[in-house]
Structure 1
Amino acid sequence: MSDLEARLRDTLTERAGAAPDALRLATGARRRLRRRRTTWAVAAAAVVAAGVPLGLDQLGPSSDGGGRIADEPTATSGLPPGVIETGYRAESWHDVTFEVPVDWGYGGTSGWCTVGATPDEALPLVTRPDTLTPAIACSPINGYGVTIGDGAALDPAYDSGHVWQFETEGASDPIYPDGAWLGYWYDADTVVTVVAPDRATARRLVDSVETNDGVDPNDCPATLGEAEAATTTESYATFSICRYGPDDLLEASRRLIGRESSVAEDAIFSSPRRTADYDCPTENDLSRIALLSSGGYVATAVTEASCPGWNGLFRSGVVQDLTPEALRQLDLSQLPVPPEE
């Protein structure tokens, strides 16, 4: 066993052992961490458009004032906290959560023309600040989907929650599809921009955005420390995959239930025990994936380090080398593959 692996396991043990302090100080820690801005240059084309602001000079006649309007309930109205309507899934970034249709994919909305002849033919996508997007020139520049950006870079023309229609008016290089419905939600740290083919979808997705004081709908806390301190709370079998960035803030999450849960757990935890020894240099910008079973922390995975000694599954003092199937299950940039019957 190398010194590197021992240090990583000791770090994880320390975090787990500090559970009471982590839970008690979670609110203050989150406030401090939220001041540490993350960069999003790889998704700049989509997010900069949001800060222009979005299509302000092409505002259509069907704009609404935004916010949760009491006399115009959305599809989320009346649902208990944490309950996702059938046909939608929860997506998260730091302490912000929103919902999208279950069949929407992941990727850069500015690369829509690589997968469709028109924006209507291309799959709407969820674009995170760290999403890699092909350097191509689609026209319109962006297709349909949801883009997450830095709230500090936004100069808003409207209140958070506003929804309006975009019209190109003959522009040679429009930002969005003609007639698309736009909306955004923002706070000091994060802006969530929605581009949808119809008003109802844009309104529903914008209204679904909220911040989490505890865990998101996938049972993932906003910080890695809170995740590694989590204890079992669910009374039924679930499996949560929570990805955290180098700043220990939540970047993506997924929760699997029933057969999907057991298939994913079997694929990940059956990975072989590590036998090789590595001598890796210090790497300070590691992303980590916390794994929670029924809401309780069970292991941490690292999948994208430059030195293979940092990668692996770390649990209960054991290091396992992740198999290709385990890596596929841990990849939150792809839609999950349903288990075979």
Structure 2
Amino acid sequence: MRHGSLMPFLTLSHVTTYSYRNPVSFGEHRIMVRPRESHDQRLISAELTITPEPAQVRWLHDVLGNSVAVATFDRRAKDLVFDSRVRLEHSPADLESVHIEDYARLYPFTYSSEDMPDLLRSIERQHHDPLREIDRWARRFVDVSGQTDTLAMLSSMTAAIRREFTYVPRPEKGTQSPIETLAKRKGTCRDYAMLMIEAVRALGFAARFVSGYVYSPTKRDQRTGGGNTHAWVRVYLPGSGWVEFDPTNGIVGSRGLIRVAIARDIYQAVPVSGTWAGFPGSFEDMTVSVDVTVDEPAETNAQISNTQPSVAPPPRKVKA
């Protein structure tokens, strides 16, 4: 896939703070905030600081290659803070960069026998649709003549969600089912992503959930969904591989999008998960602050260092 000439340097700040009325103890926490390194995302530095300092932090790659920090604790505290600071070079791709093999340019098509075994689990539906509501909605984008341009169809679906649904931020955990989102005609970026994933899977495409960050490349090119983590979709298209579709902003390509975690289902891509133990009612508040600064693309020849982050964790719910 060809990438645009603009390769901005970005500084990411992601701070999550959990507050308690009384000191509590913390169980094991898993943290997924380190951006994935690839040909279009090069990490210059990454630091993740946890307060209170954990007893141990170890790093691993999960089944889909996401970087995960696992932290354990040996002290109690009233506050738990994750402070992630990342600097990276981004070489985004846009709609014009998408190349599709001849056999897949018109829908329907069949993935190659070489690719299909690895794509099957990403084609499987994850949510029940007994009345086939998602199927009917997805079919509206298919040309009844039988000559449906694959990329145009997926782009139209992405734009339709942006145009026809109302974006409503919801900081608390949880995601609507695709059927709920379709019925309510509103939701968060997570809800939009899960609706589109189920819709394209209903059409036979392999799709995955993506969690990461969104930023506005220019003042004219403003993006919705900042201030927190962002979610979108990847669809596998022969010739370009996994292509980004952001239904919240109605865009195709990775311009303005920084990948952190990729998963078959949203529950595999939770930024922070873990447990705490203490008196019932101790949990007081959780705040999340995400800030992305776009720098001048000046350091093209900067030496890239793969700094292994140090980490910070959060809670899930009370364990008596």
- Short-chain TM bin: under 0.3
TM-score when normalising by structure 1? 0.23
Higher relative strand content: 2
Higher relative helix content: 1
TM-score when normalising by structure 2? 0.24
